[in-house]
Amino acid sequence: MKLSFIIFTLLQLIQMNAYGAIRYVTPAGAGAQNATSWANAAPGGNLQSVINGAIAGDEIWVAAGTYYTTAGTNRNISFSLRNNITIYGSFAGTETTLSQRNLLSGLTSILSGEIGVAGNSDNSYHTISNANLNNTAIIDGFIIRDANDERTATITDGLGGGIYNNGSNPGNICSPTIRNCLIMNNHATFGGGIFNSGYNGGTASPVILNCVITNNTANGGAGIDNFGLLNGNASPTITNCVICNNHASGRAGGMYCWGGNSGNTNPTVINTSFVKNTAVDGGGVVCDRLNSGGGSSGNSNPNFRNCIFWGNTASGTGPQFFILGGATFTATYTDINLTGQTSPHIISGAGTGNINTDPMFTDINLGEGPDGIWMTYDDGLGIAINSLNINAGDPAITTPVSDLSGYTRTGIFDIGAYECRRYVFIGPGDQWTTDAHWDVGFVPPSMYIGTIIIDADCAKQALTLDIQSQLIINSGKVLTVTE
């Protein structure tokens, strides 16, 4: 009997380890502070220790609040990810399942490099600094901000304020998964938001999904800098992202891709919006295969599908993109303003499905929307009902099935990071308040900003719409509103 009990207990432990444990962190901690539950959460100052102590398969759940790289003033200290560990943020601190976490109201867990005195002059060089990672190292649901690596650029310094993915040198890899994150207000000499270094035979090709990269600054590559120089590879996969309002004092406000000296920088970019980035050359993107010592070699061939390039500016050449050393810029099913794009700064290939027309953003000057919160229903870079980007994407792209704000994509995807928000009342019953009567499977939220289409007779008791909303009643249909 005792032997059977021991065997049963061992099997339980093996099963628990196979699925991993959940470790809990809140700003102040609670109870025994051993990270075993919300009631015994570890304090925020121990977040990196909790990550370091996790075993393969574990999840770290981090509650709303601000978590600093250090309580001291050592600028070299930063957060770092680990393989086979998923770090989830933006919990209320009461959830018992991951599905209970609500990201639809915005991100609430902040990783900050704001240390020392107020202002960024003595902030951490990197908010997150990574090495030796594959895509099982996952961060999901955080605001990553306030780093400042203003040092003169070397192979290791001055690179990657918000996130530095260092996969440089032969055999090294640093390709984590960065998901549902807002990367903002960071500075570095190169790669203010993210720097991916595959320099000298290394690899740094992260998966970047459902992220906003905004208000970052750098000399070059203010939003993202991909550095594959000298036989390296820095080719991230970027999907459902916004890269906007980043500023480079030199080249590439949005993203730099340098694949010279037989390197490779060939990002795959899908349903991503490059908007209002600024630089001297290449407001949106720079594609560069120049060698560091003269001549050109390697590959710099970013590929854009279902993307938007609009409102990017360059005081010099190439407002949307800039090409060096015979690199290429390939775009299909993309809305791109080609005004001011002169040879050699032109699209390679046929440009199948491309358009050059105003995307009809809800508010291009207020990307985060009236609520001031990115990745929510009122974001200003959503598109209006009269946009030509609607249903204009590549028919071959069928994932992911929701957009940057969590809204469901159906049919042929819209171009850009956001699907046009529209609720269609289809019946067969006439009750507005029945989820199944709407095409997306649920009722429009209160004070919804977007388009509501009535395509079947509908009844509603009291109806209040936001001033920015649009109500369309199709021909022959009736909407009855009672007080």
Closest listed residue to residue 202, CA positions, set 177, 233, 160, 237: 233
- 3-class DSSP state for residue 38? helix
Whether residue 469 lies inside any domain: the answer is yes
Q: Are residues 208 and 303 in the same domain?
A: yes
Residue owning tokens 């929510």: 376
- Predicted confidence at residue 14, as pLDDT, reads 31
Q: Considering all CA atoms of the chain, what is the largest pairwise distance in Å, rounded to the nearest integer?
A: 82
What Å distances lie between residue 447 and 228, 431, 444, CA to CA?
A: 47, 18, 8
Q: Which two tokens stand for residue 469?
A: 């909303």
Q: Note the helical H segments in 147-246.
A: none
d(CA 93, CA 288): 46
Q: Provide the 10 A C-beta neighbour count for residue 79.
A: 25
As a 3-state breakdown, the chain gives helix, strand, coil percent values, each rounded to 5, of 10, 30, 60
User: 383-413: per-residue pLDDT in tens?
Assistant: 988 899 999 999 999 999 999 999 889 899 9
Cβ–Cβ < 8 Å for 128, 114: no
d(CA 209, CA 400): 9
Closest listed residue to residue 225, CA positions, set 201, 250, 239: 250
Of 284, 309, 336, the residue at which a domain comes to its end is 336
Q: Are residues 186 and 331 in the same domain?
A: yes
Close Cβ partners of 253 (under 8 Å, ≥ 6 residues apart): 222, 223, 246, 247, 277, 278, 279, 282, 283, 284, 312, 314
Whether residue 145 lies inside any domain: the answer is yes
d(CA 211, CA 392): 22
- Predicted confidence at residue 19, as pLDDT, reads 67
Single-letter amino acid code for the residue at 288: D
d(CA 383, CA 389): 8
- Beta strands of 266-319 (E only): which ranges? 268-270, 273-275, 278-279, 285-288, 299-300, 303-305, 308-310, 313-314
- Predicted confidence at residue 450, as pLDDT, reads 77
d(CA 11, CA 65): 37
Whether residue 383 lies inside any domain: the answer is no
Of 303, 336, 369, the residue at which a domain comes to its end is 336
Whether residue 475 lies inside any domain: the answer is yes
Q: Are residues 197 and 306 in the same domain?
A: yes
Whether residue 74 lies inside any domain: the answer is no
Sign of the CA dihedral with 214 first, then 217, 222, and 224 last: negative
d(CA 237, CA 127): 21
- Predicted confidence at residue 448, as pLDDT, reads 77
Cβ–Cβ < 8 Å for 178, 135: no
User: 288-338: per-residue pLDDT in tens?
Assistant: 999 999 999 999 999 999 999 999 999 999 999 999 999 999 999 999 999
Of 336, 363, 385, the residue at which a domain comes to its end is 336
User: Where in the sequence is the domain holding 464, given as residue range(s)?
Assistant: 423-482
Phi-psi bin for 9: left (phi > 0), alpha (psi -120 to 50), beta? Answer: alpha
Whether residue 80 lies inside any domain: the answer is no
Q: Provide the 10 A C-beta neighbour count for residue 141.
A: 21
Cβ–Cβ < 8 Å for 88, 103: no
- As for how many domains the chain has, the answer is 2
Q: Note the helical H segments in 47-117.
A: 47-53
Cβ–Cβ < 8 Å for 53, 68: no
Closest listed residue to residue 424, CA positions, set 446, 455, 397: 455
Q: Which two tokens stand for residue 61?
A: 């759940």
Closest listed residue to residue 45, CA positions, set 111, 91, 106, 92: 111
Sign of the CA dihedral with 66 first, then 72, 77, and 82 last: negative
Q: Are residues 326 and 461 in the same domain?
A: no
pLDDT in tens, the chain (483 residues): 444 333 333 333 333 444 699 999 999 999 999 999 999 999 999 999 999 999 999 999 999 999 999 999 999 999 999 999 999 999 999 999 999 999 999 999 999 999 999 999 999 999 999 999 999 999 999 999 999 999 999 999 999 999 999 999 999 999 999 999 999 999 999 999 999 999 999 999 999 999 999 999 999 999 999 999 999 999 999 999 999 999 999 999 999 999 999 999 999 999 999 999 999 999 999 999 999 999 999 999 999 999 999 999 999 999 999 999 999 999 999 999 999 999 999 999 999 999 999 999 999 999 999 899 999 988 999 998 889 999 999 999 999 999 999 988 989 999 999 999 888 999 999 999 999 999 878 898 877 777 899 999 999 999 988 777 889 999 999 999 998
Q: Are residues 450 and 308 in the same domain?
A: no
Whether residue 21 lies inside any domain: the answer is no
Residue owning tokens 């120049």: 290
Whether residue 195 lies inside any domain: the answer is yes
Q: Are residues 326 and 428 in the same domain?
A: no
What Å distances lie between residue 362 and 5, 333, 365, 429, 470, CA to CA?
A: 63, 21, 9, 32, 12
- 3-class DSSP state for residue 402? strand
Q: Are residues 442 and 311 in the same domain?
A: no
